[in-house]
């Protein structure tokens, strides 16, 4: 059901500092930051030959990643994102198998402008999983 790994997301305390570190120290190309107000985060993507790394930071204290950063002040891995061809069919299959979808269960547009859903980490060995419907 799941396809390729789309990205690994890392919460960072300072997006500008992290962008510079990934660019200058690791020698990668990093996209410009984008504020995603609906999700309460600012993001940029480290572009790699086989996948991406999403660097994200909260936009204010009501952001869903603020509590994560409070528990992990240096930042850390937040979630992994897999691609799926049909997000609603994947959701229905997962729910039928006992997985819990976070939020309303309805897809929202993610950082790539494509529909996404998040699965409860307790159902996947403590890992928050994002599913992103790939453009067809």
Mean pLDDT, residues 60-89? 94
Mean pLDDT, residues 22-40? 94
pLDDT per position as a tens digit, 93-134? 999 999 999 999 999 988 888 999 999 999 999 999 999 999
The helices-and-strands tally (H runs, E runs) of the chain is 3, 9
What is the enclosing helix (H) or strand (E) of 20?
Answer: helix 15-20
pLDDT per position as a tens digit, 32-52? 999 999 889 999 999 999 999
Selection from 38, 40, 72 nearest residue 56 by Cα: 40
Domains (ranges, CATH) in the chain? Answer: 5-133 (3.10.180.10)
Whether residue 84 is predicted with pLDDT greater than 80 in this model: the reply is: yes
Sole residue written with tokens 């897999």: 82
Catalytic (active site) residue 130: yes
Whether the model pTM is above 0.85:
yes
Whether residue 81 is predicted with pLDDT greater than 90 in this model: the reply is: yes
Catalytic, out of 20, 38, 83, 130: 130
Whether residue 135 is predicted with pLDDT greater than 90 in this model: the reply is: no
- Percent of the chain exceeding pLDDT 90 equals 89
């Amino acid at each position: 059901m799941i396809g390729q790994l789309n990205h690994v997301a890392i919460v960072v305390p300072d997006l500008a500092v992290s962008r510079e570190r990934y660019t200058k120290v690791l020698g990668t190309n990093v996209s410009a930051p984008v504020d995603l107000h609906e999700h309460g985060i600012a993001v940029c993507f480290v572009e790699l030959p086989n996948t991406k790394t999403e660097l994200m930071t909260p936009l204010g204290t009501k952001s869903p990643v603020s509590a994560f950063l409070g528990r992990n002040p240096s930042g850390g891995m937040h979630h992994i994102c897999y691609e799926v061809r049909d997000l609603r069919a994947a959701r229905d299959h997962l729910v039928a198998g006992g997985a819990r979808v976070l939020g309303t269960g309805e897809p929202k547009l993610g950082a790539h402008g494509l529909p996404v859903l998040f699965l409860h980490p307790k159902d996947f060995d403590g890992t928050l999983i994002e599913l992103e419907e790939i453009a067809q």
